[in-house]
Structure 1
Amino acid sequence: MDSGRAVLVDVRTDAEREWVGFVPGAAAVAWKQWPGMALNPDFDVQVQAAAEEGLTVMLLCRSGVRSIAAAKRATELGLTAYNVLGGFEGDPDANAQRGHQNGWRHAGLPWRQN
């Protein structure tokens, strides 16, 4: 991404990005939307727009699960796509809390909160 050949696409819901935090500069393209977690009917068009000029897309969700499905779909659309392992918050620990083992925030990567 630092080289300009890839773009980070955050596939979490608008609510997750608003309440939990977001990565500055990431494209916001929800895979599913709250409430109900219905698939985003505009995902295909939006992810293709994020990958302008042949950029590779790096897909990020809460834990790396939804972004797997989103990366598969992006690949079906002809994009070069990768899932960001661990997601934004990471896997739950023994106390069922995220952010203590892995993930974007745990790694100290850039993020902000409203």
Structure 2
Amino acid sequence: MSTNTSSAVQDLRPVQAWDLLEKNPTAVLIDVRTKAEWSFVGKPDLSILNRSVLTIEWCRYPDMSVNPRFVEEMNEALGNVLPSQLLFICRSGARSMNAALAVHASLAEGAHHVDLFNVAEGFEGDLDQEKHRGGLNGWKSHGLPWGQS
């Protein structure tokens, strides 16, 4: 799980993130994991809120190099219209924090204000005693909507 030391990006637990998404119909959730993770592990499902999750890789599988076009791809996916709140999620909260901080740095250059949130615990959460994810904490373990293709 990520521990946020920057006020630029606030940590939210998965249930808090869901509550924010329910209350703000313009808030956007961005899943920054890899295509392989989306396909084989699943991803959050916002269809009950009549929305979908944006999927933009922060790191590219298999070498896990940082996507140099992440911010540009995010802006394109948003139609170059920034919402008031952006939430970022990955497996356990580390990559999503890095992606959110990169977005913050980009927005600071343009003097834009958007509330940025990292979904601490992520989609799968921390490893349990058996070294498995998905049962200890995270989006899935909290019983929040998700699907798998």
Which TM-score applies when normalising by structure 2? 0.71
Unaligned runs of 5+ in 2: 1-20, 46-51, 108-113
Give a deviation string over 1:57-81, Cα, whole Å, max 9, x none.
1000000111110111111121432
* Structure 1 equivalent of residue 138 of structure 2: 103
Q: Does 1:15 align with 2:43?
A: no
Residue 23 (structure 1) shift: 1.8
How many residue pairs were aligned?
A: 114
Q: Does 1:88 align with 2:123?
A: yes
Higher helix share: 2
- Contact 2:92/2:124 (CA < 8 Å) preserved in 1? yes
- Contact 2:89/2:119 (CA < 8 Å) preserved in 1? yes
Partner Cα distance (1:90, 1:50) in 2: 26
Show structure 1 runs of 4+ deviating over 6 A: none
- Contact 2:75/2:82 (CA < 8 Å) preserved in 1? no
Q: Give the number of the structure whose alpha-carbon radius of gyration is greater.
A: 2
Which TM-score applies when normalising by structure 1? 0.92
* Structure 1 equivalent of residue 88 of structure 2: 59
Q: Does 1:77 align with 2:106?
A: yes
